[in-house]
Amino acid sequence: MNEKNRIWMRHGMRGILRREAAYSRHTKDNNQGQENRSALNVDLRFHYGKLQRELNFRAAACRQLKYSI
């Protein structure tokens, strides 16, 4: 293989590796964002359920108080 072909091959490999690294970084960022969103959704669902239980408890307490007066 002559010098010119070797240089072009090296440039081509460098571009391929650069694109693979960029794609890998992009995929990793997407996966991290997806994990963060799913953790946030779990947290929100937990707090929403907790709030609903608290509101139901207060509503029941108010009904009992209203009927006892």
Read off the DSSP letter of residue 1.
-
Q: How much is the pTM?
A: 0.34
Give me the residue label for tokens 């070797």. 6
pLDDT in tens, 9-66: 777 778 888 888 877 776 777 777 777 777 667 777 777 777 777 777 777 777 766 6
For residue 27, the model assigns a pLDDT of: 72
Q: Is the dihedral of CA 24, 26, 28, 34 positive or negative?
A: negative
Chain centroid to Cα 29, Å, comes to 9
Nearest-10 Cα torsion for 13, 18, 23, 25:
140
Rounded to whole angstroms, the Cα distance separating 21 from 34 reads: 20
For residue 48, the model assigns a pLDDT of: 74
For residue 67, the model assigns a pLDDT of: 63
